[in-house]
């Protein structure tokens, strides 16, 4: 159960992490302090197997329209992917992914919308970056050097995803560690160091709530995700923003599932998240704006940082 006592105990256990600042995030030509202004990453899925039906685009025109709506609603960038990470989803070959991604990214870039390309295969990442994507959402970890070098060549930011296996479609571990943060600190730390050695200009880390573990009981899964969101601030010692793909917990919210990401955004905010990957941009933006307004104590402006106390 989430209680004030539990939250106070968690914050008191890791006070140094809670106060740690992180580097700004580069999005194209902009540098964003995600503590002062949380970054929203909208989602457009070009695969019909994606779990969130509302995000699926059935054509290039559909994808561009959805992305423009999300941008107008407050998304800072749009994450575009051409293959679902669901274990039961059909595989999309490299040529198919490139053919789907390229015209969408080109049109969005021409419209002045920053794009993130979701990929774990080098040819797909290369096509997305060549088409104008300014962020690589890296959902794999078995080809880091080539991916980092590619991102550096395009001056692109990399979001490193925590994946228990070579990529999100080939998970190799089923167990859920009761406290995965120490392992993530080690893994992310070495990957961040290597990325910087190879010239990656900006980084964020994603604990992988959407695919980093297997749990058959969806209510247990949602509780694990909620706890992980609240523990986010412990990863801030890595010095880079933390990105979360907000859960939607269909089994908890049922026919109100579209409100789920707003609920989890509150937990993510309290945990010190900097980048929110969401299918519900307008909802999450309004939730985060409200949290920041309450953080001032008088409602007249933003808190000193995005995680200030509610007084």
Domain count across the chain: 1
Q: What is the mean pLDDT of residues 50-78?
A: 90
Per-residue model confidence as pLDDT tens digits over 104-117: 999 999 999 999 99
Predicted local confidence at residue 308, as pLDDT:
40
Is residue 142 included in any domain, yes or no? yes
Q: Which of 156, 268, 263 is nearest to 204 (CA)?
A: 156
pTM of the model: 0.90
Is residue 220 included in any domain, yes or no? yes
**Residue 114, both tokens:** 């920053």
Is residue 311 included in any domain, yes or no? no
Predicted local confidence at residue 269, as pLDDT:
95
Instruction: Domain of residue 145: give its range.
Output: 26-289
Residue 31: strand pairing partners:
26
Is residue 120 included in any domain, yes or no? yes
Is residue 5 included in any domain, yes or no? no
Whether the CB-CB separation of 188 and 205 falls below 8 Å is answered with: yes
Per-residue model confidence as pLDDT tens digits over 11-35: 999 999 988 999 999 999 999 999 9
Say how many C-beta atoms besides its own lie within 10 A of residue 8's C-beta: 10
Say how many C-beta atoms besides its own lie within 10 A of residue 199's C-beta: 12
Predicted local confidence at residue 62, as pLDDT:
94
257 versus 161: the higher-pLDDT residue is: 161
**Residue 240, both tokens:** 């880079």
Q: What is the mean pLDDT of residues 151-175?
A: 77
Per-residue model confidence as pLDDT tens digits over 243-278: 999 998 888 888 898 899 999 999 999 999 999 999
Mean pLDDT of the chain: 87
- Ranking 75-84, 177-186, 271-280, 284-293 by mean pLDDT, the lowest is 177-186
Q: Which of 168, 172, 159 is nearest to 202 (CA)?
A: 159
Is residue 245 included in any domain, yes or no? yes
Alpha-carbon distance 178 to 29, whole Å? Answer: 39
- Check which CATH number belongs to the domain holding 218 and give it: 3.20.20.20
> Would the pLDDT of 3 be above 50?
yes
């Amino acid at each position: 159960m989430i209680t004030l006592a539990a939250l106070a105990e968690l914050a008191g256990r890791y006070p140094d992490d809670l106060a740690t600042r992180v580097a700004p995030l580069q999005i194209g030509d902009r540098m964003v302090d995600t503590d002062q202004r949380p970054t929203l990453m909208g989602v457009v899925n070009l695969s019909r197997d994606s779990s969130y039906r509302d995000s699926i685009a059935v054509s290039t025109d559909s994808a561009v329209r959805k992305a423009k709506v999300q941008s107008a609603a407050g998304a800072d960038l749009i994450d575009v992917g051409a293959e679902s990470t669901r274990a039961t989803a059909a595989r999309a070959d490299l040529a198919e992914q490139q053919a789907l991604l390229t015209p969408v990214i080109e049109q969005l870039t021409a419209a002045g919308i920053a794009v993130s390309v979701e990929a774990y295969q080098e040819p797909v990442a290369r096509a997305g970056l060549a088409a104008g994507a300014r962020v690589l959402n890296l959902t794999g970890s078995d080809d880091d050097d080539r991916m980092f070098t590619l991102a550096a060549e395009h001056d692109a930011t990399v979001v490193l995803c925590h994946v228990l296996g070579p990529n999100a479609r080939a998970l190799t571990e089923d167990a859920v560690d009761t406290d995965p943060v120490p392992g993530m600190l080690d893994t992310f730390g070495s990957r961040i160091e290597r990325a910087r050695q190879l010239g990656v200009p900006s980084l964020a880390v994603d604990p992988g709530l959407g695919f980093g573990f297997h749990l058959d009981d969806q209510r247990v899964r949602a509780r694990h995700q909620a706890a992980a969101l609240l523990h986010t601030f412990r990863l801030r010692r890595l010095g880079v923003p933390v990105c979360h793909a907000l859960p939607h917990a269909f089994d908890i919210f049922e026919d109100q599932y579209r409100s789920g990401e707003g609920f989890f955004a509150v937990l993510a905010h309290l945990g010190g998240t900097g980048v929110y990957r969401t299918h519900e941009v307008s909802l999450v933006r309004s939730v985060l704006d409200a949290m920041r307004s309450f953080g001032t104590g008088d409602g007249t402006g933003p808190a000193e940082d995005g995680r200030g106390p509610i007084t």
